[in-house]
Amino acid sequence: MAQPQPVKILEVCRVCPPPDLAGFAAPKFLPLTFFDLHWLRLPRLQRIFFYEISSPSHEHFFDSVIPKLKHSLSLTLHHFLPVAANLTWPQHSRKPILNYVDGDGVSLIIAESNSDFYHLSGNDFRKATDYHPLLPHLEISKERAKVMALQVTVFPNCGISIGFTSHHAVLDVIEDPRGAEEVYLNAWLNHDGPNNRSLMVMEFEVPPGSVRGTFELSREKIEKLKKSVFVNIDEPKHGVVHKSTFSVICGYTWVCIAKALKIKEKEAMFVFSADCRSRLKPILPATYFGNCIQGCLVVVETESLLGEVGVSVAVEAISKAVKRLEDGVINGGLETWISISKAMQSNNQRPVFVASSPRFEVYNTDFGWGRPRMTEVISIEKTGAISLSDSRNGNGGIEIGLVLKIEEMETFASLFAHGVQVL
């Protein structure tokens, strides 16, 4: 007997900015800049929000929820018109452009699922592939790429999920102080080139048997972890180390992953993105909307990382990388991005990346149903990244999400739990 499909597609539509507002003075032609160009062919970004709703009946879902969401999305596109645009790279254009014409919009899928809502939005290990039916496909070809697609899925009498897939190379307007734009453009043109203007993004397969896990560190555990880590760092010898929550959580997670994966390479690599808004001249406001991040590559000897004080080694290395940003986020950043891109395409061990940030406060994303029950960065399953977010409990803690093979995940979970239990 055929197995029932976990998701039934009920409607596929396109939501456009309001026709009576589409002619307002926002730019309809937007060239990409250097902060965008790094992401041009890197994997799509995918995230899901789960909301628990007491009685999302089929009738209520279609008569009330969906019309409001469509209307809200349409009004939002009025203010963020490039999201409805198409990314192209014409022969006459020196670089890719976002181009909006009347009638462009965002693909929206409406679906219904009979999957276990509480399992998918819980903390137990979950199959990575279980989330794929809840995500929309983003249209990308060599000649044209959409910016974003959305899918709203109802779980009758349980809740709703909102999944989105987006192109990372959008929405920046920052001037280039070091000629990074030319370097990125030439690199992409010569990648499988010459003069390769393809917009196709890299595709990485999800390893078979992969599962998703979500782990939380409370504020109390984070503070205890800080104290235990910095006991082993000789600041008079190595200089003042920035005792941040970010460096401690990343260092601790990095060591647990390295041990779970039993890495053999001589050096281990860790990559995080720094927020450049307050580090540029002039400083950009916190409300700036667009790519404005700089990649930071951290490299340590694997033997040290796996050693008795490995967490302290990792935290110190990450902290020093953060401190180097004080000299300017652009200085040296160009070479770093190129090194990271090469590492991503290598057949050897990839770096551990960090996706998202607690600063986004994703658990404050309220569409009228309160805080999300769960939100996950799904795209980390293909890049080997970990995701960081604020805690759903609102207690000042941090959530860490990752995808590993089941045996590796079980080892990671044991290491992660043991390390904080003995504090």
Cα 415 from Cα 310, distance rounded (Å): 13
Set 63, 79, 366, 418: catalytic member:
366
**How far is residue 230 CA from its own chain's centroid?**
29
Mark whether 168 is an active-site residue. Answer: yes
ω into 282 cis (within 30 of 0): yes
DSSP E strands in 114-257: the ranges are 126-127, 144-146, 148-155, 159-166, 210-217
* Helix H or strand E segment including 66: helix 66-79
What are the distances in angstroms from CA 405 to CA 239, 272, 280, 402? Answer: 39, 23, 40, 10
User: For residue 116, what are its two tokens?
Assistant: 């276990």
What are the distances in angstroms from CA 379 to CA 11, 111, 212, 265? Answer: 24, 20, 11, 25
Cα 409 from Cα 261, distance rounded (Å): 9
Per DSSP bridges, beta strands 106-113 and 7-15 are antiparallel
Set 36, 167, 168, 390: catalytic member:
168
Query: Reduced to 3 states, what is the DSSP secondary structure of residue 261?
Result: helix
Cα 385 from Cα 140, distance rounded (Å): 23
Identity at 128, one-letter amino acid code: A
Would you please indicate which residues are annotated as catalytic (active-site) residues?
168, 366
